[in-house]
Amino acid sequence: MDFEGKRVLITGGSRGIGKACAQAFAARGAKVAINFVRNAEAAQKSLNSLTGEGHALVQADVSKSELIEGLIADTVKALGGLDIVVNNAGISQYHPINEVSYADWQMSWDKIINLNLRAPANVIYWATQYFLKKGGGRIVNVSSRGAFRGEPEMPAYGASKAGLNAMTQSLAQKLAPDNIYLGVVAPGFVETEMVTHVLESEKGDAIRNQSPLGRVAQPEEVAYAVTFLAAEESKFSTGTIIDVNGASYLRG
């Protein structure tokens, strides 16, 4: 896959899956804008890890709807244009219905739906306005196997990712005539710095053994699926959801 000359925005691109996506696109010739909220040090480290030149940092909290138009404009200015958007920013939070207060229950739903579903919807809206003017573009959304298998301890998370899948497929149908193509990558458990403590705990073996491979995904494996859906050769895969979960959950 060749992304020479392509301009890519990755939300939540300073670590984990987002960082791996940034590195994968850069290694294939793209110019990458890494979106971050507060951790400028981590974002700068991710930027420094990219091969090639012309990359940029763009700071914005994508959960704040009033900032999204500016995020797209800043990216276009920094990169000289925009061809691909990866909606990677997201959050998970435990909120079991039989344990949390009603106030905490509502807070979890508001927080998770806002970042995991409304934020990518808003990013897609403003990216689409730009893509319509330039004649096309690519959008890849990072979802989760939880959209299919359920998340008993985090129902808002599962619901947000299921909504993300449905929105992606709806817009894939709507925007295909405009040469705007959308896809979803749905990982299972991924080994990132944020979950190292979980994998090293007593829960680690059980999590790894959810897959017949006896391990969890690496961020680079998720990034490969993202780059596939963003590639020029993948136009006819618009609306596709790619599972990257090591057969830990198989859907019909």
Catalytic-residue membership of 157: yes
Task: Enumerate residues 6+ apart whose C-beta is below 8 A from 196.
Answer: none
Return the axis-axis angle of helices 16-27 and 40-48, rounded to nearest 10°: 30
Catalytic residue among 94, 102, 130, 157: 157
CA distance readout (Å), 71 to 24, 25, 40, 148, 162:
22, 20, 16, 31, 25
Annotated catalytic sites, by residue?
A: 157
